[in-house]
Chain A
Amino acid sequence: MVTLFGANFGPAAISTLALDSNNHVTTALADTLLAFDNTLAPMIYTIAGQMSAVVPYNVAGKISVNVRLVYSGAASAPVPVSVSDTSPALFTLNSSGSGPGAILNQDGSVNQADHPAAQGSVIVLYGTGLGVLSPLPKDGEVTSVTAMSPQKVKVTIGAPSSLTPARRLRL
């Protein structure tokens, strides 16, 4: 999932994710489209000067793609962007990209310094940049039911000197 900052696009008020009749995330939101080569990306939100979308799975294996943003029928020049298998990152509590992670404890409560997870319990992390999943979902598919695993990402917990692999990683 990427966020894009720029100029000359987006509505004044934020427009957020919508599902089509097939329960897939739509690729058009408030007249905003984002294409990676010729594939439209499922849209997360769009607002003036900023938008977020899910990178289509068919960029996998490419070295770079041309990204083109379309707003109200006006297309940007294609912008070449490099592609990687993975670039993992966790969402954070304050949505700033740093600080405590947006993590839920086993009981669904927010994990915080004064509300830690119990040893051996299950926690939920929210991240992106995990790369291709197995089995591979369709672009924009809502995958809450089916368990999927990233192919090239592992999760470890603890200080670098004493990393503990997570027992199981599910999405």
Chain B
Amino acid sequence: MIVTNISSLNDRTPTIPGVPPGTSDAYAQQLDGPVKPGNLSLPGIAQANTTFRTTFAGGNDKPASIVVTGGAFTQADITPSSLPSSMHIDIVGTGSAGGTDWAYAAVKAIPDSASRDILLWGPGIDSTLQENQIQLLTGWLTLRPGSLKSFPSAVANGLTAMRFTVDFTSQPSAKTPVIIVVNKNGETVASTGEVFAIPAPKFTPDAVVNAASFKGGPVVPG
């Protein structure tokens, strides 16, 4: 689910209404790209502090599960490190599963009809990255074991991509953001809202019918 509203209590604690009941992760991520303060139309946003490290409630090594119940407030305490980040996911791309093609654009959609490759570019996102350092915060996708590799033919902003394959373990019921988290050498970075899992078009053979009679059966040229 995408929550589009955020407000602030008197003590400036951000409040996010409309979070569905269940268990959630909560984290603070710096607005240092690809989304930057200037991309948001919020009063005073230009003065936003973007020099801190992505931090999960409960700590990056063992994030706390935030249990949300209907009609009630749930608090998630996050104390970000003020150290600047040495690692960052600058760009996210996609390609065919196990293939050599790749592309990146503003927002990437991964239909649930097939596995896909995800490509990451950024400082610290290099050949030292291990699969167990990558997490996909979605219930639909898993990283295919053994698929992570450096992909030298995909260079962007002077950086070589790291590429891995994701498989669907179940079908999303709606467009769902895929949050990619990299936790490496004690530092955590996240890509939020750049890739979405989407339910692909679905139909069955008997749902293809003659346009005049609406009866199923073989298709005919013309």
Contact = CB atoms under 8 A, between A and B. Distances in A.
19 contacts: A1-B210, A2-B208, A2-B219, A4-B209, A5-B203, A8-B200, A8-B201, A57-B221, A59-B219, A60-B221, A69-B203, A70-B201, A73-B111, A76-B200, A81-B205, A87-B210, A87-B217, A97-B213, A133-B222
Q: Give the dominant DSSP class at B's interface.
A: loop
B218 interface: yes
A97 B208 contact: no
Contacts of A4: 203, 207-209
Contacts of B222: 1, 54-55, 57, 128-133
Contacts of B114: 75, 77
B219 A7 contact: no
A3 B203 contact: no
Contacts of A90: 212-213
A84 B200 contact: no
Contact of B210 (A2, A5, A54, A80): A2
A6 B217 CA distance: 16
Contact of A129 (B205, B207, B220): B220
Given A54-B222, A85-B220, A129-B220, A97 B214 contact: yes
Contacts of B205: 79-82
Q: Which of the four size classes fits the interface of chain B?
A: 20 to 34
Interface string A101-116: 0000000000000000
A92 B212 contact: yes
A151 B219 CA distance: 16
A164 B221 CA distance: 27
A1 B211 contact: yes
Contacts of B202: 6-8, 76-77
Given A54-B222, A82-B219, A85-B220, A76 B212 contact: no
Contact of B219 (A75, A84, A133): A84
B58 interface: no
B80 interface: no
Given A3-B209, A74-B109, A55 B214 contact: no
Interface in A115-149: 126-133
Interface string A83-105: 11111011110001110000000
A71 B113 CA distance: 12
A40 interface: no
Interface string B183-207: 0000000000000001111111101
B113 A52 contact: no
A30 interface: no
Given A80-B205, A129-B220, A131-B220, 12 more contacts: A1-B212, A5-B207, A9-B201, A65-B219, A74-B201, A75-B111, A75-B113, A76-B113, A81-B219, A82-B217, A89-B210, A128-B212
